[in-house]
Amino acid sequence: MSNRSGVLLLIAVVLLYGIPFARAADPQPYKVDMASTGDSALNSTLKATSELETLRKTAPVGPFGLIGRARGDLERLKTVLESFGYYQSYVEIRIDGLPLDDPGVGEELTSRSKDKDAEIKITFSIGPLYHLRKIEIDGTVPSGSEKTLQLESGAPAIAADVLAAGERLLTALEDQGYAFAKVDTPIAYEDPPNRVLDVKFHVETGNLVKIGDIRIRGLKTMKESFIRRRLLVHTGEQYGSTKVEAARKDLLALGVFSSVSVRLGTKPDSEGRIPLTFNTRERAGHAVSVSGAYSSDLGGSTGVSWTKRNVSGRADSLTLSATAINLGGGTSTNGVGYDVNGKYLIPDWKQRDQSMQVAVGAIRQYLDAYDQKAYTGSVTVNRKLSSIWSVSAGLGIEQEHINQHECGVGQCIDTDPGCSEIDPDPPAGTTTPPPCNERFSYTLLSLPITALFNTTGQDSPLADAIHGMRVSVNVTPTFSFGHPSTRFLVSQATASVYFDLNNIGLNNTPGRSVLAMRALAGLAVGASQFSLPPDQRFYAGGSGTIRGYRYQSVGPLFPNGNPIGGTAINAGSVEFRQRFGESLGTAVFLDAGNVSKNLSPFNGQLKTGAGVGLRYYTPIGPIRLDVAVPLQRRSGPGVINPDDAFEIYIGLGQAF
């Protein structure tokens, strides 16, 4: 046969047998059916490990690439099963009903229509669960160190638990001063007939060391003397890895460093001491931030703040901010206002974990309840008692001018469907309101005392708490000099609880499904309802208390429908929060509460609001959009200042 004839024959063969390949889909679409093992945690890990699952949409492949991906999954999934203690397990993957080792798999894929998904089925035979039998440490360790392994004979032979045990042992040795201790990857010995594993940890402790010279690198404007006074570790102390890490985090918490790392010397000196070097990187000396929010009752707000970090080289800071409020006209406002303030914060004032803040401010706002123009000043000392307890005490002074829109005699009975009649028999202690739109001036001297209990692990109010609780109790004796002059005591307690539903098995990923609950109670004693300055009374309604009702609209009202305010408040909220993907989430909530002249939890004119919300999670906190409706809406003919059909709230951070 001539060369020309051979080439023509080859082309004919390729054309004849290459037709299926020409019609093959590339990439090959497919769907995956992964059988359940009966263990939700194991199922989740298998699904997250399978490249057939994780790369199906993001990294499409052709027919033979799909076969290779499936073959790789066999080993990956087998490793997962063994890591959970199933050492006699078996994984089978079929494509269109054919096992991977079937010679016809390739032809099956290449001959199918490009519009038809390949069907991949993954099944498991997990076999018996192996358990631990002997747990040994090979090497000399301090007495009691074996307890840090937290492994027991008879426990399931889960690889993650065994590896974590080795890490715990290493940390324990380092905390006891063995800075150069080594714990090798544990060796497991399988006994298939008895379905058990024997595990051995090889350990070399090295010598005990103490902390030697401490060097601090990277300081520019920070004073080294301040840093050294604040350090939690000192030369001559016994080395401990946890103690050193706590010192690193403590410096980072000052807020003036973008990063803090610790480098350990390579070997101890002749005195058995190891040098430490703290490498720091200071944040920019100035920061500017912009804020904004919107609600249908208060309108929009936008502000800017400027912060000077490390004013004197001791981590002190000066923050100046200005915010325009009630922009665009909310249903509870009557004009654009402002809120400006300056704050100077001194950390470690007089002693460690004690700060002092000096603040001045001015506010102008036009609300349905009252118009206010005020100048404020305060000095507050905050003392951190522990990682979860803190207390503060301060002195505040406020000079304000208030015009409350009070009309008529007595007060309105807040009933459904409207609030337009005068209470003919006001309760004892209720004074007659002054004439309409009379202006009052007050000078307030206050002594606020606050205790805070926080187990959420989140110090910032913008951070998204997913477990634990926050409890705040505030007592503020106040002296009011004005018309009339009076003394009163305002007490308020707030408790928020966050429960991760992962703890009861309702979600496999921690922090994705959270039930949040809040309770609020407040009481003002020593002055009657109208003796209290209007801004010192309690109001409810709005994003901070009962969503669905306008700001300050829940509680006693004047005959013209404007809020009076009360001397007691009760409120509570229940909210379910669910995250989806990396950044999105939703919320469903119910709020309830009332404002009155005495503290009677959820009695009297109880108002409830319900709604739904969207969340977009950012590094500084979730952006929140809530829509709520009032469930006891005042509306209809003859109702003065009726409730809106719904309210909208947009802001940064969760509602609580």
H or E element in which residue 363 lies = strand 354-367
pLDDT at 109: 85
pLDDT at 271: 86
Region of 272 please: left (phi>0), alpha (psi -120 to 50) or beta.
Answer: left
DSSP class per residue in 5-64: HHHHHHHHHHHHHSHHHHHS-SS--EEEEEPP-S-HHHHHHHHHH-HHHHTTTTS---HH
pLDDT in tens, 374-410: 999 999 999 999 999 999 999 999 999 998 766 444 4
558/408 Cα distance (integer angstroms): 8
pLDDT in tens, 188-203: 999 999 999 999 999 9
pLDDT at 383: 97
Q: Compute the average pLDDT of residues 514-538.
A: 92
Examine the pLDDT at 420 and tell me if it is beyond 70: no
pLDDT at 270: 83
Q: Compute the average pLDDT of residues 282-290.
A: 94
| End-to-end Cα, the chain, rounded Å | 87
**596: β partners:** 568
Domains belonging to the chain, first-starting first, are: 19-125 (no CATH), 131-204 (3.10.20.310), 210-282 (3.10.20.310), 286-652 (2.40.160.50)
Confidence band for 637, pLDDT divided at 50, 70 and 90:
confident
Among 75-79, 230-234, 268-272, 546-550, name the one with the lowest average pLDDT. Answer: 268-272
Residue scoring higher pLDDT (475 or 565): 475
39/85 Cα distance (integer angstroms): 12
Examine the pLDDT at 63 and tell me if it is beyond 80: yes
Q: What is each CA distance from 143 to 60, 146, 147, 205, 513, in whole angstroms?
A: 56, 8, 9, 13, 43
Confidence band for 490, pLDDT divided at 50, 70 and 90:
very high
pLDDT in tens, 147-175: 999 999 999 999 989 999 999 999 999 99
Decide: 594 and 565 in contact? Cβ < 8 Å: no
Q: Compute the average pLDDT of residues 70-91.
A: 93
Residue 114, token pair as written in the block: 């490009």
pLDDT at 238: 94
Confidence band for 346, pLDDT divided at 50, 70 and 90:
very high
pLDDT at 493: 97
Four-residue CA torsion sign, 347, 353, 357, 363:
positive
Four-residue CA torsion sign, 565, 571, 574, 579:
positive
pLDDT at 437: 59
Confidence band for 3, pLDDT divided at 50, 70 and 90:
very low
pLDDT at 463: 87
pLDDT at 113: 75
What is the strand order of the sheet 118-125 is part of? 30-34, 118-125, 90-95, 98-99
pLDDT in tens, 596-630: 877 666 556 789 999 999 999 998 889 999 999 99
Among 98-102, 506-510, 605-609, name the one with the lowest average pLDDT. Answer: 506-510
Residue of 411, 372, 367, 434 whose CA lies nearest to 560 = 411
pLDDT at 408: 46
pLDDT in tens, 250-281: 999 999 999 999 999 988 888 889 999 999 99
**Cβ of 57: how many Cβ atoms within 10 Å?**
8
| % of the chain with per-residue pLDDT over 70 | 90
Among 206-215, 458-467, 588-597, name the one with the lowest average pLDDT. Answer: 458-467
Examine the pLDDT at 9 and tell me if it is beyond 90: no
Residue scoring higher pLDDT (601 or 446): 446
Residue of 546, 450, 519 whose CA lies nearest to 491 = 450
Residue 379, token pair as written in the block: 């000095």
